[in-house]
Amino acid sequence: MRLEALRSAVLEANLELVRRGLILYTFGNASGIDRESGFVAIKPSGVPYEKLQPRDLVLTDLDGTVVEGALRPSSDLATHLLLYRAFPAIGGVVHTHSEYATAWAQAGREIPAYGTTHADYFYGPVPVTEELTADEVGGDYVLNTGQAIVRRFAQGNAPLDPLAVPAVLVAGHAPFCWGVTPADAAHNAVVLEAVARMAYYTSTLNAACTGVAQHLLDRHYFRKHGAGKTYGQEKN
């Protein structure tokens, strides 16, 4: 069996989503990439999480050709692959229909950076894509979902850095999250759901809330990220 460590990491990321209550039945999937070979390990389609074994994960190349595995890959494979191609710094992708993040996606609203919990993980609002057109949905829908995400990150004068904003809401659908590793992607998905829940309460309690000030956003984000970070322990 190839890429056993990657398979285990992807399995663990899938199970973490279940443990944290982000997954209903089989709605969700995690994947990871080995950048050296360009192979991606992803959850098989429709297999209950409690039965998943490392060997059940499907290995594909970046074009979606199955390299190893007897089961069909997740139906969201083409979105994952496009994100790996467009964002070379990421190593794991997670998709869930977690309740609060999905509510924002369905409302077509980005999640504003209302406080420091958000700022610790997301440097600015969690963006929402444009709605897919009828042609995009009727055509290669799963690939077009990825294209909508990539377009959203490239839009405007200041393109978003996918590592500074490691999540997106697909309008009318649900979130996709990512990270440097599959574990990191799952962690970001769990935090996104908590942030989305808090943001829902915040906007309900104070509809006029405009969010955290730039200096507080900077203070919190850069405390945990970048060259000057001071959070946690030095790595030897």
Active site positions, annotated: 120, 231
Tokens for 188? 């970001």
Closer CB to Zn ion, residue 112 or residue 175? 175
Q: Is 84 strand, coil or helix?
A: helix
User: How far is it, in rounded angstroms, from Cα 213 to Cα 143?
Assistant: 36
Q: Is 128 strand, coil or helix?
A: strand
Sign of CA dihedral 45, 49, 53, 57: positive
Closer CB to Zn ion, residue 174 or residue 196? 174
CA contacts within 13 A on the Cβ side of 111: 35
Closer CB to Zn ion, residue 1 or residue 24? 24
Q: Of residues 153-192, which lie at the interface with Zn ion (CB under 5 A)?
A: 174
Whether 139 and 73 have beta carbons less than 8 Å apart is answered as no
Q: Is 5 strand, coil or helix?
A: helix
User: Footprint of Zn ion on this chain (CB under 5 A)?
Assistant: 174
